[in-house]
Structure 1
Amino acid sequence: MKHSFDVSGQKTTKKWPQMVAGLSAAGGAFAVGSALGWPANALPLFVDSNSGYFPLTETERGLVASIITIGCAISCLPIGFLMKKFGRKWTMLSLVVPFVIGWALVIFAKSFSTLFIGRFIIGIAGGAFCVSAPQYSAEIAEKEIRGIVGTFFQLLIIAGILFSYITSAVLSLFVSSIICGAIPIVFGIIFCFMPESPVYLVITKQDDEAIKAFKWLRGNAYDPQDEINELKNDILEKENNQVTFLTVVRRKSTIKALIIGFGLMIFQQMSGINVVIFYTTMIFELAKTGIDGKLCTIIIGTVHLIATLAGALLVDKAGRKILLLISIIVMTITLICLGIFFYILDNDPETSEKLGWLPLTSLSLYLIAFAIGYGPVPWLMLGEIYTNEYNAIASPITGAFNWGLAFIITSTFSMISGAVGLAGTFWIFAALSILGTLFTFFLVPETKGKSINDIQRMLNGE
């Protein structure tokens, strides 16, 4: 059990309740991950009626996989208002309802339209979680453990993806979908016992409730009055120094921060990460490696989870920029290798049989590289380069932009791969990642160990 101590050695705060609350909030991320991983093993069953499921065209399968990202993009925008109006906790608990409705439609779907609508509704709940859970975690955790608590969300998304891969591989699609649909309910039951964000309670002038929340999170021996007073001073300072959004966005530092934020999101998605997550099984079946596609998917998911855990440990120890550069360079190389494999498969099948190890190795290295850099770091840097003056507006827009890109890329993957082949598709991702490498090297600053004011001065060119 971990505690903080003051200079006299007296125990002041407990850390484990904050960990528990952060992990509980990240239970919503596990639900999001299970929905993101669902298409990998599910969609191949909808190719024809022989599998027992209604057939979908290639375009329809692409839309079923990708429409979740449009739901996510839409919900990123209003969720900030709902959290401000109803609180972080109750907003997150309310998301259980659309999650369950969406899964019910998916489980009992008898047509493309029902499946499509169900996935869209799941996306609305999932995207809202992607904004609300990280904010809740940041507000409940002390700065000493905020980084660790903040990594729970990404870690549980990947764990949810792997869980979906495993359950759909060993169970029927109907049973595995019911299990995935039950995850939000389990989250809701557990999260009911967590406190509201004390920051929200102070903002809404519920000081007595804020004290209770702080004591739940820090321990009964902790006196939260200084922390509450500090929050009040911050709120008062923001109210006294309010400037218009247009004034803020005209600043050189703001323009550069927005270019960096949106640029990181562009190259995160243009690396093809969601194509890999949604279509892993299909990619391995087309590769004809001789290894069962579902088994390869589970191996890939396990590697991704372990790499994400390693990335969580690295992100506060290594510089942001160096992790981004290593990440995108390795991803570029592996994408080129995947393109080479599928080119050989199309033109010299006999030789490709000797290279059956290459797709699994390349995708494993790709996900390891993504997990230590371009997966978590762009989201982390948004909180470092966006100031409080415009973060409430810029972050949801950036998040919606990211999910919108994910939809474009995943929904057009089948069409592009049909036109230029899988080799050409992976080479396109590689070419875009080369541009991302140049962007990262020349435009992205190193923010590790720097204060918000230092970062803003750096963005101003001072």
Structure 2
Amino acid sequence: MADRTYAYDPVGETGAPVNQQAYRMEAGQLWRQYVIAGIANIAIASTGYCMGWTSPVNLKLQQNGTDNPLEEPVTVDQEAWIGSLLTVGAIFGPFIGGFAASSIGRKWGLLSTSIPLFIGWILIATTKNVGMIYGGRIFWGLAIGMLFTISPMYCAEIATDDSRGALGSFLQAFITLGFLLVYSIGPYVSYAIVAYVGIIFTGVFVVGFFFMPESPFYHLKKGDRKSATESLAKIRGRSHEGVQAELDLMAADVSASMEKTATLADVFRGSNFKALYISCALVFFQQFSGINAVLFYMTNIFEAANSSLDSAVATIIIGAVQVAASLITPLVADRLGRRILLLISSCGAAIGLVLLGMFFILADNNNPVVEKMGFLPILSLVLFIVTYCWGLGPLPWAVMSELFSIEVKAVATPIATAFCWLLSFLVTRYFSAISLALGMGGSFFIFAGCCVVAFFFTLFLVPETKGKSFQEIQDILAGRTSSKTEKGLKQ
């Protein structure tokens, strides 16, 4: 992938000479940013493994036998708390993550997430009672909240403008890999082995990411241009001289953002507030698309279709579909743009949910046509999951990492992330009660309505960030003409 050529003066904004000819001749190794982001997202894959853990393990906990570490099977209420307590931890994790990202850096903030992950796995592996499982799930949630705050931030800051969408979409792709792994091995190995694999997974991330560079934006924010140069050179695969022009652009963005220290009140002013409500709206639509409810009731959907597939095999197939669909977004996010993918995603998800809702309403009313529509729930399920993974799943995180200005990112991102996990807790904990009151069909129609609203919200209010620098995005949010655009018009 070719990098952008910056037509700047031979002397950068910092006064440091820049050899533009040498810069243009250095093609660099831009694949490095994908490798670095991939290693960073091993932790995200680990969280997918944690989140999907309940699918195979709940069956073990419901039984009496040697594979249940508890003295007796869990109750329905205990099972509900096991599922939802992870999201409780994730509500508080973003604030720890935001503090870590601004105080010790993006790299060490990411590495620090391994602490609650390891603690959680140790509690799970050595559990003697359901309270230890509760504790393990809460610690996992803390790590997930931290990772969903820091990882998109880190990936956005190491990416070139024309690859930021792809790297931002890694989160959804890697989390589905974690789901697929636990779906694939969980039903066929013991409770203890599932836990040991989770510990190894976290260890692989720590060892691999330890050797990765810090975000150059963080170094510049700390006034350390030398370290920023070394970091960017490693990320781009260029010499120190060859990254100076790009570093000047980064330094200009950081300099503009450092004119004042951001406070919580700043998040609710001007373009920062616009970025906040767009980010919060997108994560609202993500959660109220009903993804957790659909995944939770996946077995019921297959049973409704009278599928002969074993539920474990069916879950693996759906996990594979998620992975395949999620791998498409990084390939097209910087070609098609964020808005078009969100529009396609919300439209496709709405159609899938309407079809699901219609099937369950007909089934609840014992309509004879249901016997001839056994294919419909599986078709609508695949349509929903595929289109969700194209946009509503990954892009709220990618767009969030782009919209917030540098000075408020560490303050604002945790707010939007915590809001997301609060919504996730509400959906996970109370969907069963709502579906009993309204019926499965009515519940899916509500989710479909949210997807329709998401379509029009994206159409009229979400800005396109494809190929834009951080400063250009801030200009768009503020409603002013970008300095780069003005320069291009004059030329």
Q: Normalising by structure 1, report the TM-score.
A: 0.88
- Which range moved further: 90-99 or 349-358? 349-358
How big is the shift at 1:319? 3.9
Residue aligning to 2:59: 44
SS of the residue corresponding to residue 13 of structure 1 reads coil
Q: CA separation in 2, counterparts of 1:173 and 1:288?
A: 29
How big is the shift at 1:113? 1.7
Letter of the structure 2 residue corresponding to residue 19 of structure 1: Y
SS of the residue corresponding to residue 421 of structure 2 reads helix
How big is the shift at 1:378? 2.0
- Give the counterpart of 2:47 among 32, 57, 63: 32
How big is the shift at 1:231? 4.1
Residue aligning to 1:180: 198
Q: 1:32 to 1:277 in 2, by over 3 A?
A: farther
Residue aligning to 1:88: 106
Q: 1:7 to 1:284 in 2, by over 3 A?
A: farther
CA contact (8 A) 2:339 2:458 kept: yes
- Which range moved further: 346-355 or 321-330? 346-355
CA contact (8 A) 2:44 2:147 kept: yes
Structure 2, gaps ≥5 residues long: 6-19, 481-491
Q: Does 1:321 align with 2:339?
A: yes
How big is the shift at 1:387? 3.0
Residue aligning to 2:31: 16
- The number of equivalent residue pairs is 461
- Which range moved further: 1-10 or 318-327? 1-10
Q: CA separation in 2, counterparts of 1:452 and 1:90?
A: 23
- Which range moved further: 37-46 or 116-125? 37-46
**For 1:4-403, what aligned pairs fall within 5 Å after superposition?**
10-49=25-64, 52-53=67-68, 54-219=72-237, 221-223=239-241, 224-240=243-259, 246=265, 249-251=268-270, 253-281=271-299, 283-285=301-303, 288-348=306-366, 352-403=370-421
**Deviation readout 1:192-241 (Å, 9 max, x if unpaired):** 22223333233334444444333332336342444555544444433335
Q: CA separation in 2, counterparts of 1:50 and 1:384?
A: 50
Q: 1:446 to 1:210 in 2, by over 3 A?
A: closer
Q: 1:221 to 1:390 in 2, by over 3 A?
A: closer
- Which range moved further: 424-433 or 234-243? 234-243
Residue aligning to 2:443: 425
Q: CA separation in 1, counterparts of 2:103 and 2:471?
A: 30
Q: CA separation in 2, counterparts of 1:217 and 1:454?
A: 23
CA contact (8 A) 1:87 1:200 kept: yes
Structure 1, gaps ≥5 residues long: none
Q: 1:387 to 1:194 in 2, by over 3 A?
A: closer
Q: 1:248 to 1:135 in 2, by over 3 A?
A: closer
SS of the residue corresponding to residue 271 of structure 1 reads coil
- Which range moved further: 451-460 or 90-99? 451-460
Q: CA separation in 2, counterparts of 1:436 and 1:218?
A: 36
Q: CA separation in 1, counterparts of 2:161 and 2:148?
A: 21
How big is the shift at 1:354? 3.9
Q: 1:199 to 1:381 in 2, by over 3 A?
A: closer
Q: 1:407 to 1:459 in 2, by over 3 A?
A: same
CA contact (8 A) 1:2 1:16 kept: no
How big is the shift at 1:411? 1.1
Letter of the structure 1 residue corresponding to residue 25 of structure 2: Q
Q: 1:82 to 1:255 in 2, by over 3 A?
A: closer
SS of the residue corresponding to residue 315 of structure 1 reads helix
RMSD of aligned residue pairs (Cα, Å): 3.0
Q: CA separation in 2, counterparts of 1:286 and 1:110?
A: 37
Identity of aligned residues (%): 36
